[in-house]
Each structure stands twice: as structure tokens, then as C-alpha cells.
Amino acid sequence: MIDRVEAMTDEMVAFARALVAIPTVNPPGENYAACAELIGARLAEFDYEVAYVTADGFAEHSERYPRVNVIGELRGVPGAPRGATVGPRLHFNGHFDVVPAGEGWTVDPFAAVVRDGKLYGRGSTDQKAGIAASIFAIEAIRREDVRLAGAIEQSGTVDEESGGFAGMAYLAERGYISRERTDFVIITEPLNVDRVCLGHRGVYWFEVATLGRIAHGSMPFLGISAIGKMADFISAIERELKPALSTRVTAMPVEPAEARRPSININSITGGQPASGFQTPCVADRCEAIFDRRFLIEEPVERVREEIHAILRAMAARDADFRYEMKDLMTVHPAQTDAKSQLVSTMAGAVRDILGAEPPLIASPGTYDQKHVMRLGHVDQCIAYGPGLLHMAHQPDEYCRIDHLVDASKAMALTAMRLVGAH
């Protein structure tokens, strides 16, 4: 069966190229329907029952940019819930949206160029190669006429790069991914072919606005500078919050290791008159900044929020001119699958058998759709494993090595056999 995967290399690369050649750029979410249909057509050809799940009712869903997900179940195994006579259900998921190409490319980001054993293009690593790898892993099993005792599903979903709400979250909310029917989920994100990813940290985005009082720029003492107040808040973060954060370390095996401590980043800041515009002399009466706080699985989200509120309250208590507004923008809870679970040990064993070395079990500093599988679908065995190199994601000249694509597909095929194969 491993040889069968190897023999399908050209077919697999051709399919990955076809996926990369569809610019599914998010935002705004271009060509989702076309990409879903390409995946759906291939699944149908490989004997899956295919359904398209459109997330209407979302602000980002529109006639021009429809949010179309695709899900397929391999035929030949009766689709019955767990507890019935069939074995476990294994679900492979990959997102097919990609971030904008950006600057600095030496190849056309959507030409799907193959050169020196690498497939180049936006989304090659993150994560269209992953979708090709899992589809051909199962196809190798099917072409070998191996009988399966359980069920296999594959999905291609949208909007992972913008939170996955119309994608994997929607499938989980609609019951396609749920504890009642789904035993194992493998998300084919690029965490390197030789590593298995158990989960990810949490994210808390918030916005703080400081409020000042406008005055003539030649007499700033008559006003209150909102920008100055924001500077005070930022220096409080530097002086008070950052040292506290640096003392906390997670037990999760986050890679890179620097990300085992929580962090805070200022994502944007705007105040006063737009810098690009014609200026008149004024004291800025409003300044807004957006903060990205990454938190550990050991940090309760209420504490993460309260820490920020406490700093702001203390500043207002010290300084009568410090007035502010604070708003939550987004919270993503951390997620982690037990390292001793059947899914992790089976996947790790398969990677070891293909590559000849024990794969490190890691966790991701950034978030991906695992949170939706675990938090909304309540499926407790979910991992990320895929062929791309993590450091290539979102880069110019993004590529996926073809030997990694094939090796990942082999490891996925072995994993599927061991989890749902007939014994």
C-alpha cells in the first residue's frame, strides 16, 4: 500500500497543482465554489458520497463570495453512528482558503510551478498539499481493495485563515463533526512531515481606545492628548504585564520553544489625523489600538481579560485625565489532544514507520481549526499532521517539497489502515 501511494505521485502532484492554481484568496474569499467543486469532483471519482455545505447567514457569505464547504464519505462502508456494528469514523480536514500572495515572489504565486522537487505557489504548503495527501492516502487503500471496518470522511473547508467560522466551525455546529459520529479528526495543516501536532494556544484580541480633548496644537496644555494616554497604557503593558507574562511557562510542547510563554503584540494603532492626509495642528482626542494576546492552556481566559481591565482601572484611578473604552474582539480557546490517545500514538507510529525516526509531538503557537473540532464538535481526538513546512506558510515563494507530500500521504494511509482497517 505504501508502494501504491508512491506509484500515485504524479497523479497526486497534478491534483495539488490544480488546487494551487485556483486562487482562493481570503480575504475576500475568492473562487471558493470552484475549489470546493474540484475537490468534490475528485472525491466523487474516488467513490465518495459528496455534499456541499454552504454557510449562508454569515456576513462574509455573499453571492459574489459564497462560503462553500465540501464533505465526502467513502462508500462501501455503511455510515452508521458509533456504537453500531461499524467501526470508528476517521475524518480528514483541510482548509482550501489561502492568504493573499503579497510581495516578493520570484514565481507566479498561482501558476503551480514544479521545480527541483518542489511545488511552488500560495497555498501549496498552507495547505493544499495536505488536502491532496489525505485524498490520495485513502485512494491507495481503495485501489488495494482493502476492506475497512470503519468510515472515512474528507472535508475541504473555507475561511480557516480568518477564524474558520463559516468553515470548520459551521460543519461542527451542523453536526457533521460531532462526538456522536466522529471518532478521529486529522487536520492536514503544515506542521512539518516529521512532527505530530497535538493542539494550539489561545488567542484574545481586544481593542482599547483612549479618549482625550481636542485643542490647538500650539497650546497642547489646553487639551488632553489621547495618543499620550495610549503611550502611557502601552508603557504600563511593557512595565507591568510583560514581566508577569514572562514568568509563565506552559507544559504544552509548543514549537518554537519561545512560544511556550504567553505574549502580547500590538497589531495596530491609530490616533489623531490620518498620517496620509493633510495636517492641521490639533491635539488628538482619540487613539485606538488593537492588541493580540496569546495565552496558555494553563491561563483561564477570565484571568487573561481581567489582567488588562485591572491595568486600565489602576491607570484611571491614578490619573483623572485617563479615560478609555475597552472592547473584546475575539477569543479562541486553547485546544490539546492527549498525547497518549489512540489517534496520537497511531499517527506517531505511522510517521516513525515511514521516516524511520520518532516524530516529536508538538503544539502550534498559532491557532487553527482544531478548536472548533474540540470545542464545538466535542471530538476529543484531533491532531494536525501535514506535508508542508511550517516556516513556509504565508511566505513569498511558498513551496511544498514533493517527497514530503508523498511521505505524508503514506503516513496518513498507514494511520487510516490502523485506525479503521478491518482486522
The answer to whether 270 and 287 are in contact (CB under 8 A) is: yes
| Residue number of the CB atom closest to Zn ion | 126
Q: Which secondary structure element, helix H or strand E, spans residue 150, and what is its range?
A: none
Number of residues in contact with Zn ion under rule CB under 5 A? 3
Closer of 130 and 377 to Zn ion (Cβ): 130
On whether the CB atoms of residues 138 and 154 are closer than 8 A, the answer is yes
126 lines the binding site for Zn ion (CB under 5 A): yes
* Contact partners, residue 231, CB within 8 Å, separation at least 6: none
Encoded amino acid at 344, one letter: V
Polymer length of the chain? 423
Q: How far apart are the two ends of the chain, measured CA to CA in Å?
A: 16
Which residues are paired to 115 by β-bridges?
A: 118
Question: Smallest gap, in angstroms, from Cβ of residue 157 to Zn ion?
Answer: 11
The closest alpha carbon to 369, from 160, 177, 193, 86, belongs to 160
Closest distance to Zn ion from the beta carbon of 95 (Å): 6
Residues 172 to 231 in contact with Zn ion, rule: CB under 5 A: 189
Q: What CA–CA distance (Å, rounded) separates 241 from 47? A: 55
**Nearest distance in Å: CB 55, Zn ion:** 18
Give 189 or 398: the residue with its C-beta nearer to Zn ion: 189
Residue 60 found at the interface with Zn ion (CB under 5 A): no
Helix (H, G, I), strand (E, B) or coil at 72: strand
- Rule CB under 5 A: choose which of 26, 124, 125, 127 binds Zn ion: 127
Q: In 3-state terms, what secondary structure has residue 245? A: helix
* Nearest residue (CB) to Zn ion, 74 versus 166: 166
Kindly report the backbone phi and psi dihedral angles of residue 77, in degrees, each rounded to the nearest multiple of 5, phi listed first. -125, 130
Q: Which amino acid is at 209?
A: A
Q: Point out which span in 120-128, 334-342, 349-357, 400-408 binds Zn ion (CB under 5 A).
A: 120-128
CB of 99 to Zn ion, least distance (A): 9
Q: Which is nearer to Zn ion, 390 or 402 (CB)?
A: 390
Q: Based on CB atoms, which residue is closest to Zn ion, 160 or 194? A: 160
Query: Least CB distance from residue 150 to Zn ion, whole Å?
Result: 27
* Residue 26 binds to Zn ion (criterion: CB under 5 A): no
Taking the complex as a whole, the smallest distance from the CB of residue 274 to Zn ion amounts, in Å, to 33
Residues that bind Zn ion (CB under 5 A): 126-127, 189
